[in-house]
Amino acid sequence: MNPVGNIKTIAKRELRAYFASPVAYVFIVIFLLLNGFFTFMIGGFFERGEASLANSFFNWHPWFYLFLVPAVGMRLWADERRVGTLELLLTMPIAPWEAIVGKFVASWLFLGLALVLTFPVVLTVNHLGSPDNGVIFAAYVGSWLMAGAYLAVSCITSAITRSQVVSFIISVVACLFLILAGFPPVINLLQNLTNNWQWLVDVVTSFSVITHFEGFQKGVLDSRDVIFFLSVIGFSLFTTSVILRTHRTN
């Protein structure tokens, strides 16, 4: 069978499994509640009086994803190993990368669905003013790509361990690095510590999701930012495949 068919079959099963348990609904409800609360209460959507979602809504996404995406990704491989279905999956007539991509795509689509369900906030801002919907769309794309990058990192941590909890914690720490690398206080600290080695500071900040997400928030679809997120995803999925192979050869 062709790789696309295999990936589709794997992704379909994974999505079905999400919605067969309450996890999916709990996740979506929490995600939407957090979004609503932060946008309107803490982000000061009304007080700002801006016809834009950048500062009140999208600004929080890197931080929501820090906890929510590892929660979605933690079970991906850890559970397969714990239950033993990994043995079934990898003895099916499919290439391991197809399974890795299929499972990733399913979770990524699920995150996309959660993101799409925040549409009332778009309706609200359109009702109250006349925002640039192109900018909002770009920011949504960026947010989804960022979620994908976090998710791919969670795939790695999930493949490392059988325990979902351990996977969750490691991946929160790893994703925290992805955020903090571009966080101003951290950049300042780094500059002081390294005596202003600008190249090092640049290298570190270039790994930050925040710097790459900023462009999208302003409505700029810069190919470098897209490539950044896609390459984090690609690299992480490749690492996942290496880890899964190592487990089997050890």
Partner 1 sequence: MIKVQNLTKIFGTKRAVDGISFSVERGEVLGFLGPNGAGKSTTMRMITGFLPPTKGSITVGGHDIVEQPIPAKKLMGYLPENAPAYTDMTVYGFLDFAAEIRGLRGDAKKSAINRVVELCFLNSVLHQNVDTLSKGYRHRTCFAQSIIHDPDILVLDEPTDGLDPNQKHEIRQLIRRMGEKKAIIFSTHILEEVDAVCSRAIIIDRGTIVANGTPAELRRKSEWAGAVTLRLNNVAEAAVRQKLNQLRAAKKISMTTNGDRVTVTVYPRVFGDGDLTREVIEATSGWPVEELRTEEGRLDEVFRSLTMPDTKN
- 17 near partner 1, rule: CB under 8 A: yes
- 87 near partner 1, rule: CB under 8 A: yes
Q: Of the ranges 3-11, 109-117, 132-140, 154-162, which one interacts with partner 1 (CB under 8 A)?
A: 3-11
- 85 near partner 1, rule: CB under 8 A: yes
Among 15, 28, 95, 166, binds partner 1 (CB under 8 A): 95
- 10 near partner 1, rule: CB under 8 A: yes
Angle of helix 61-73 relative to helix 164-180, nearest 10 degrees, comes to: 150
- 242 near partner 1, rule: CB under 8 A: no
- 6 near partner 1, rule: CB under 8 A: yes
Among 47, 49, 84, 224, binds partner 1 (CB under 8 A): 84
- 13 near partner 1, rule: CB under 8 A: yes
CB of 106 or CB of 145, closer to partner 1:
106
Q: Of the ranges 12-20, 139-147, 189-197, 229-237, which one interacts with partner 1 (CB under 8 A)?
A: 12-20
Least distance CB 175 / partner 1 (angstroms): 25
Give CA separation, 136 vs 108, 122, 181, 228, 229, in Å: 20, 8, 25, 20, 18
- Tell me how many residues contact partner 1 (CB under 8 A): 25
Query: Environment class of residue 178 by beta-carbon count within 10 Å: exposed (0-12), middle (13-18) or buried (19+)?
Result: buried
Measure the CA angle with vertex 156, ends 150 and 160; round to 5°. Answer: 140
Contact 45, 57 (CB under 8 A): yes
Query: For the chain, what is the radius of gyration of the CA atoms?
Result: 19
What is the token pair recorded at 146? 């960022």
What is the token pair recorded at 58? 């999208």
Q: Of the ranges 90-98, 140-148, 150-158, 178-186, which one interacts with partner 1 (CB under 8 A)?
A: 90-98
CB of 88 or CB of 173, closer to partner 1:
88
CB of 20 or CB of 123, closer to partner 1:
20
Give CA separation, 166 vs 172, 174, 233, 247, 250, in Å: 10, 12, 21, 17, 21
- 113 near partner 1, rule: CB under 8 A: no
- 88 near partner 1, rule: CB under 8 A: yes
Residues 6 or more apart whose CB falls under 8 angstroms from that of 164 comprise: 74, 75, 78, 79, 82, 158
What separation, in Å, do the N-terminal and C-terminal C-alpha atoms of the chain show? 30
Among 69, 71, 74, 94, binds partner 1 (CB under 8 A): 94
Q: Which positions touch partner 1 (CB under 8 A)? A: 1, 5-6, 9-10, 12-13, 16-17, 20-21, 83-85, 87-88, 90-95, 248-250
